[in-house]
Amino acid sequence: MRRACWVLVLVLLIGSLAVSFGSIGAASKWTGTIQVWDFPRPAAAEEWELQAFKEFEELHPGVKIEYTKLTWAGGNEKLDVSVAAGQPPDICGSGLRLPYILQGALEPIDDFLTAEDLKDFHEETLNAVKLNGKYWAWPWYNTLYVMYLNADLFNERGVPLPENGEWTWDEFLSAMQKLTFDRDGDGKIDVYGFGFTFQPTYLQPFGFIYAEGGRVLDIDKNEFILDSPEAVVGIQRLCDMVWKHKCALPGAGGLTTTDVNNAFLNTRSIAAFVDTTGIISSFEAHNEKVEKGEIEGEKINLVTAQYPRGKNGQPIAAGPGVGSWAVFKQKDDAKREVVMELAKFITRGEGQKEVVPLIGVFPSCKSAGNVWAGNKNLEHIVPAVEYAVYPPMHPNWNKIDEKIMRELQLAVLNEKTIDAALKEAKRQIERLLEY
C-alpha cells in the first residue's frame, strides 16, 4: 500500500514538472535555426538583444539564432516581399502588420499566454495587438505622447508647474490662459499657452478626447463612437481653446506637427505642446549645441506633464503604438513552441527593466516596475501607461484616421460645427468598417 502511494506521488510530481516545463521539454526535442529579424534599435538596446539571443541559445542546446538587422528605409519592403514569397523570418521585431494577419501569415499567441502573462501585461497594451478576439504579437514596450512645457515661460508668468506632472482640465486651461500674452506691448498676442493640430497618423490631441472616456471605435462591435458625448467633450475643449478662450496657437486645423514643434523650440511662441518621448533627446542635443556655441538661441528649460485628467481622475494618455515581436506561421509544432518561447524570453518583464530605458519608452509588463524612477521627465508619466489608448487594430485604420482628421481639421478651423463634422466622418467611416 505504501509503495503504491509513493508511485502515485511520483507520477503526480512528474506530471507537475511536465506542466511547468513543457515548453523547455519541447525545445529539447527540436533543434535548428531560428531566423530573427528586427529593425534598428539604439546601439545599447541592440547589444542587449544580441546578448539575449546568446543566452537563449545557451538555454536551448542545438538551437541557433540567425539575426538579420533590417533598415528603416527598405525593411518594410523586404518583410513584405518575404511574406509574399512564403519565406518570412520565424520572428520579427515590429513585424505586426494587419495585412499579415488577414493573409494568415502570423501565428496567434493565445495558446502560449499563461494566466500570469495576462495579468502582467497592461490591458490596453494587449488590446493594441488584438484582432477578432485573438492576440497576434508579444508586446514589448509602449510608446506614449507626453506634454512638454517650457518652464521658463511658466516662471516668467508666475504660473505654477503641475505638481508631479498632474493636473485637471480646469487647472490646465487656467494655466494656458495665463500663458497667452502680448510680450512686446504692440497689442498683438506673441505667446500662446498651447499648440496642437489634427494631422493624419499624429494622434497627439487625442489624449484630450480620451480623458472623459471618448474613443474612436468600439473594436469589439466594429462601430464608430467618436460622436459619443464623452468624446465630444474633448473635441469641444480643443476647439474652445482656439476660439473661445483664445489660448491655443491660431490656425490649429491647418498647422503641421513641424509647425507646432517649431513654435515651441525655436520661436518660443507656445508654452506647451504634445509629442512622443523620443524627442527628448533632440531637446537635449539643442541645449548642448547652444552651450557649445554651435547654434544661436537659448537653451530650453524643459518639463514634462501628463495630459489633463478627466473627472474620473485617471492619468489617461494617448500613444502611437506598441512595440512587439510577431511570430510568423510555422509548419513544425515543436519549432513553433521554441519560437514562441523565444518571443516570450525577449519580452519578459525582467528583461524589459534593462532594455526599455535604452529605447526611451515604457514597459508593457507591470512586473518591469517603474524603469524611469528618478528621471525628472519620465518618472511621473509611468502611471499613465495603464490607461494609455492606442490606435485600434483595424485593417482600414489608416483610411479611417485620414477621414477623421480631415473632419476634425474643419471643426477646429470653425468651417464646420463639431456635430456636422462627426456626422460626415461617421458616414464615410461606416463604409470602411466592414472587412
Cell for 403? 477621414
Going by the DSSP 8-state scheme, the letter that residue 128 receives in this structure is T
Burial class (CB in 10 A: 0-12, 13-18, 19+), 257: middle
CB 406 within 8 A of CB 398: no
Cell for 200? 493624419
pLDDT at 12: 39
Residues in the chain, overall count: 435
Q: How far apart are CA 44 and CA 99, in angstroms?
A: 31
pLDDT at 314: 94
Across-strand partners of 132? none
pLDDT at 70: 97
pLDDT at 219: 86
pLDDT at 17: 34
Residue 67 φ/ψ, nearest 5 degrees: -100, 130
Domains of the chain by start residue, with CATH: 26-142+322-374 (3.40.190.10), 145-318+396-430 (3.40.190.10)
**Which of 320, 347, 319, 321 shows the shortest CA–CA distance to 109?**
347
Across-strand partners of 303? 149
Q: CA angle at residue 310 from 307 to 314, to 5 degrees?
A: 75
**Which of 130, 126, 48, 62 shows the shortest CA–CA distance to 393?**
130
pLDDT at 359: 94
CB 124 within 8 A of CB 389: yes
Q: How far apart are CA 129 and CA 126, in angstroms?
A: 5
Q: How far apart are CA 101 and CA 183, in angstroms?
A: 54
Given strand 302-305, what is the order of strands in its sheet?
192-194, 270-276, 145-150, 302-305
Task: Give me the residues of the chain with pLDDT under 70, please.
Answer: 1-28
Which pTM value belongs to this model? 0.88
